[in-house]
Amino acid sequence: MIELRDVTVRSGDYCLEGISFQVQAGAYAVLMGRTGIGKTTLLEAICGLRRLVRGCVLLGGVDVSTWAPGDRRIGYMPQDLALFPTMTVQQHLEFALRLQRATSSVVAARVAELAGLLEIEHLLQRGVRGLSGGESQRVALGRALAARPALLLLDEPISALDADTRRTARQMLKNLNRQTGVTVLHVTHDQEDAELLGDVCLLLERTSAGRVQVQTSGVGL
C-alpha cells in the first residue's frame, strides 16, 4: 500500500500543501488534474527526487520519506522517458540491477523475463535511437520494473502515442499490473485512460480557498 500523510512539497514558488491519500497494494490508481497543478511534482516527492517540506510517504506501512530514491523500491517512468542514448535496450533493462550489484545470472534471467513480458526480445541489442514511440515506452517501462518495485510511478506514459499504439499500451499496462501485482500510480490528463485502466481515480483540484486537495473514487482505496 502507498500512503501520503499531510504531504507538503515545493517546486520553485509553487506549493502542494497537506496532500493525503492511500492506495491499496496491487491496485491501479490514476492521478488526474489540470496542467500545472502539481502531478509530476507529487510523483517526484513520492520517489524521493523532491524533498518534502512536511508530512510523510509510507510504502507497505513503512515511512520511506527520508530514504534515498534507490532504497525505496519504487520504479519511476518520467514523461520524457529519459532513455540513455548511448545504451542498448538490454543495458537499459540491466541498469537498476547493476546498481544493486546483482549477479550475472540474476541479471540475465530478469532481462530475459522482462523482454518476454514486454515483447521486446528482438530489440535487446539495438540502441534506443530510432526506436518507435511504442518501443521506447516499453524499454522505459522495463527499466522501471527491472528491480521488482513495490510501487510503479508512470508520468503520462502513453500520452504521446498514436491511437492504435495507445490501445495496445493500455492493455499491456493493465496486464503487467495483474501479472506482477505491482501497485501503479499513473498520471494522465486523458479521461479514457482513467476509465479503462484505473481501479481508483485520484483527482488533484484547487478548492475555492485556493488550496490543492485530492478527491478519490473507485474500489482500490
CATH at residue 17: 3.40.50.300
pLDDT given at position 62: 97
Residue 198 and residue 218 in contact, taking contact as beta carbons nearer than 8 Å? yes
Please name every residue paired with 153 in a beta bridge, in sequence order, or none if there are none: 76, 185
| Alpha-carbon span 133 to 148, nearest angstrom | 24
**Could you tell me the residue range of the domain that residue 9 belongs to?**
2-218
pLDDT band at 214 (very low <50, low <70, confident <90, very high): confident
| Alpha-carbon span 27 to 17, nearest angstrom | 25
Cα angle 73, 83, 127 (rounded to 5 degrees) comes to: 125
3-state secondary structure of 28: strand
| Alpha-carbon span 151 to 44, nearest angstrom | 13
- pLDDT tens for each residue of 36-53: 999 999 999 999 999 999
**Could you tell me which residues come within 8 angstroms of residue 102 by beta carbon, excluding any fewer than 6 positions away?**
110
- pLDDT tens for each residue of 92-104: 999 999 999 999 9
Tally of structural domains, the chain: 1
For residue 33, pLDDT beyond 70:
yes
User: For the residues 18-39, what does the mean pLDDT come to?
Assistant: 94
